[in-house]
Amino acid sequence: MAVEPLRIVLYSHDSVGLGHVRRNLVLAHALANQLPGLTGRPVTGILITGTSHAPGFPAPEGWDWVLLPGVGKSPQGYLPRNLSLPMDELVSLRSRLLQGVLAGFRPDLVIVDRHATGVHRELESALRHARADTAVRVVLGLREVLDAPDAAFTEWARFGGARVVRNLFDAIWVYGDPAIHDPVASGEIPFSLRKLIRYTGYLAAGRPSISGTSCMDGPYVMTTVGGGSDGHALARLAVAAQVPAGLGHLVVAGPQMPAEQIQDLERNARPGVRVVPALDDIVFHLRHAAAVVAMGGYNTVCEIMSTNVPALIVPRTESRAEQRIRATCLADAGYLEQHEIGTLTPEILADWLATRLGSTVDRRRAVLDGLIRVPQLAAALLQSAVVTGVAADEEEASIVDVPAAAKGSAARVAV
């Protein structure tokens, strides 16, 4: 008799950039590759996203995409990205779609990225119905830095705070190392939720290169600005910076950078600079760069942390304090350097590249094996009853200790 596959749903609301969906995608690959060995059951899944760029990324075998009508952000808050609808109608439409997916697919596990109930609580009804009708386990996945504490507190309060999370979620997985940044101690996560939290380590180690082929003819330095929607200012400085003799400069503009901005980069680029909108194998190119300049998004930083390449982070200064906090904590720990975009010049960038040439950075003290730990946590959650009381405290201590003990692990995750 065939074994019934485990059914998994990963949700990301996706209003700006590609960070949420990229994080869920790398988790999907890790779960698909490792859960069958941990549970004895194959895995099938759905990635729910709000960005039309997402289906361009390869999903694991046995997985598929559900694309929600998009939302964007303005100074006044969320708004429809494409549809000519009032926002409340768009939220209602997305909510009904979400409820239909969860009711029809009947997942064993749902992992929600960052926003516990989605845009304007669009996911809440779907989660409540799923928990009432099935034995689904629900996890809130959080990057290690949310925002400045006051801003984070406001967001928690907006959807009902810790009470709603305790009612809807079985666990909170924080994708970071609390020795570098602890969002509970900083006030970004309510203290009352601490018993639900498991620190997984960064989703960094075990990201092998896919193609093993470079798009550059010789040695190079590299600049990458994530999705690219707000990366033009840094990329513009990078293409104007002089790089050390004998090196090329690969500038990855991001698939969301507008075409006219990419054309501007190409017009103003120094000789030896190659501007590309995206790479099929960014991990390979990061590992083989002589030095890296990047914005401070979670996924980009994880990819950098999986290498020993010197890195200069130029964090986003608009919208959230997240990237600045992340860059500061990692710089304080000695894993990278940072510089504010407002005072950065092509000359400063050129000097940094020249002085870091030939150096490496040892990042092995950080807990980087979250892509191994997350499937282990998922298997435990799926195979056991919800742990409460004293047992929860005991499990919390043991789980936090496991990644630290595995810092030197050479295990790899095919993604």
pLDDT digits (tens, 9 = 90+) for 298-316: 999 999 999 999 999 999 9
**pLDDT at residue 403, as a whole number:** 35
Q: Comparing 96 with 73, which gets the higher pLDDT? A: 96
CATH of the domain at 139: 3.40.50.2000
Which residue spans within 262-411 are E strands per DSSP? 273-276, 292-294, 311-313, 337-338
Find the domain containing 181 and state its range. Answer: 6-204+369-405
**pLDDT at residue 86, as a whole number:** 97
Residues 13 and 140 in one domain: yes
**pLDDT at residue 413, as a whole number:** 37
**329 is a domain residue:** yes
Residues 103 and 233 in one domain: no
Structurally, how many domains does the chain consist of? Answer: 2
Residues 52 and 99 in one domain: yes
What angle, rounded to 10 degrees, do the helices at 19-39 and 370-383 form?
Answer: 60
Residues 160 and 251 in one domain: no
When pLDDT is averaged across residues 29-41 and rounded to a whole number, the result is: 97
**410 is a domain residue:** no
Q: Which of 91, 95, 82 is nearest to 51 (CA)?
A: 82
pLDDT at 71 over 80: yes
Residues 112 and 143 in one domain: yes
- Give the integer Cα–Cα distance in Å for 413 and 400: 21
**178 is a domain residue:** yes
**43 is a domain residue:** yes
Residues 19 and 155 in one domain: yes
**Confidence class for position 317, pLDDT limits 50, 70, 90:** confident
Nearest-10 Cα torsion for 272, 273, 277, 280: 50
Q: What angle do CA 64, 66, 68 make, to 5 degrees?
A: 160
**117 is a domain residue:** yes
When pLDDT is averaged across residues 282-302 and rounded to a whole number, the result is: 96
**pLDDT at residue 206, as a whole number:** 84
**Confidence class for position 207, pLDDT limits 50, 70, 90:** confident
Q: Comparing 387 with 263, which gets the higher pLDDT? A: 263
Q: Which of 171, 226, 177 is nearest to 205 (CA)?
A: 177
pLDDT at 330 over 70: yes
Residues 137 and 86 in one domain: yes
**185 is a domain residue:** yes
Residues 255 and 384 in one domain: no
* Mean pLDDT, the chain, whole residue set: 91
pLDDT at 399 over 50: no
Residues 163 and 246 in one domain: no
Token digits of residue 163: 């009470």
What percent of the chain clears pLDDT 90, i.e. is strictly above it? 85
**pLDDT at residue 389, as a whole number:** 33
Put residue 120 in one of left, alpha, beta given phi > 0 → left and psi -120 to 50 → alpha. Answer: left
Distance of CA 161 to the CA centre of its chain: 22
Residues 111 and 71 in one domain: yes
Contact 74, 102 (CB under 8 A): no
State the pairing for strand pair 171-175/137-143: parallel
**209 is a domain residue:** no
Residue type present at position 409: S
Residues 88 and 190 in one domain: yes
Residues 93 and 172 in one domain: yes
Put residue 278 in one of left, alpha, beta given phi > 0 → left and psi -120 to 50 → alpha. Answer: beta
